[in-house]
Amino acid sequence: MEIRAEFVNPFIEGASLVFKDVLQMDLIRGKLRVKDTSTPSFEVAIVIGVVGSYKGEVVYSMNLDAAYKIAKTLAPSLDDESIKDEYKDIIGEIGNMTTGNAITIFASGGRPIDITTPTIIETNENTSIKFSKATTLSLLLYSKFGQIEINIAIL
């Protein structure tokens, strides 16, 4: 399968906009690679299904420390124990905003897409979630909180 930039760039732009506007930081693009699955490389994943005219999934992932730092930045009044309880909701909202931006970018280019509600998971040896076995474009983004991976598998 050929991976087209028109599927990838809106998600990268969406993430960059959210980090710049909401977290007041730039994301630096890192290494781009092709994988045969959208399985995340890090412990915390935001999984978003793409449905309708296009099908597939987008998986954002980061390590647990980065997820806690992002949550703490967005909810500074929460103590560390509360962050551990609430970080999934906060990270999910980052996923919603990022993907909302991507949807807007797709629509403005005449390619509307539909997505599912983001699902936040912690991947570990007890996780039994199956990810798409499909050609996936994987991009690492760097922030002051750590690396963020975006895996995009859209047909």
pLDDT per residue of the chain (155 residues) written in tens, 0 to 9: 555 667 778 888 999 999 999 999 999 999 889 999 999 999 999 999 988 777 889 999 999 999 999 999 999 999 999 999 999 999 999 988 988 898 898 888 888 888 888 889 988 766 667 787 888 999 999 999 999 999 999 87
Q: Which residues pair with 49 in a beta bridge?
A: 57
**pTM of the complete model:** 0.88
- How far, in Å, CA of 13 to CA of 36, rounded? 23
Find, among 69, 102, 67, the residue nearest to 88 by Cα: 67
Q: Which residues contact 23 (CB under 8 A, 6 or more apart)?
A: 70, 73, 74, 143
CB atoms within 10 A of CB 56: 19
For tokens 């599912």, the residue is 116
Q: In what helix (H) or strand (E) does residue 93 lie, and over which residues does it extend? A: helix 80-108
The helix-helix angle for 64-74 and 80-108 (nearest 10°) equals: 90
Predicted pLDDT of residue 125: 60
CB atoms within 10 A of CB 45: 27
The answer for 52, left when phi > 0, alpha when psi is -120 to 50, beta otherwise, is left
Tokens of 68: 């806690």
Residue-range domains of the chain with CATH: 5-154 (3.40.1550.10)
93-114: burial string, b at 16+ Cβ within 10 Å, e else: bbbbbbbebbbebbeeeeeebe
Predicted pLDDT of residue 4: 64
